[in-house]
Amino acid sequence: QAAALNNTTVVSLLINKGLSVNASTTDGNTPLMIAISRGHSKTVSVLISESAEVNSKNNVGNTPLILAVLDGNTESVKLLLDAGADISIRNNKREQAIELAKQVNNKSIIELLEKHKNSKKIFGIF
């Protein structure tokens, strides 16, 4: 709930008290996914710094990156890419983040994902 309310102080306190940063709801959403879906970039940053899993999947296979793309949350997309989010992961509908960004024609996110993909090719990762 602290992630949903964008309360970074409470998020940090709960993590320091031993609450799992990767705990999930019944639908498989983690605090990171919840913060992303609410557009709370500060909380996203705190959760990533506390080792939140950036490639986890919820019950429909959406990753934090896919959720950020669906929400048009450019700042969270940047944070996730910087933290090592895998752009090649597909959800249960076999959709990748870049495909979803193209479906909604979010040019800034498409550009970020393409740039990230191309930088991986340069270094021989893809």
**For the chain, which domains are there?**
8-122 (1.25.40.20)
Confidence band for 2, pLDDT divided at 50, 70 and 90: very low
Angstrom CA distances, 79 to 48, 58, 68, 93, 94, stand at 8, 19, 10, 25, 23
Spatial contact of 109 and 74, defined as CB atoms under 8 Å apart: yes
pLDDT value at 5 more than 80: no
Residue 40 has what pLDDT? 87
Secondary structure E strands in the chain: none
pLDDT value at 13 more than 50: yes
Q: What is the mean predicted confidence (pLDDT) over 11-37?
A: 82
Q: How far apart are CA 87 and CA 3, in angstroms?
A: 24
Residue 122 has what pLDDT? 47
Confidence band for 57, pLDDT divided at 50, 70 and 90: very high
Q: How far apart are CA 20 and CA 38, in angstroms?
A: 20
Q: How far apart are CA 35 and CA 6, in angstroms?
A: 7
Residues 60-103: tens digit of each pLDDT: 999 999 999 999 999 999 999 999 999 999 999 999 999 999 99
pLDDT value at 30 more than 50: yes
Q: How far apart are CA 117 and CA 125, in angstroms?
A: 9
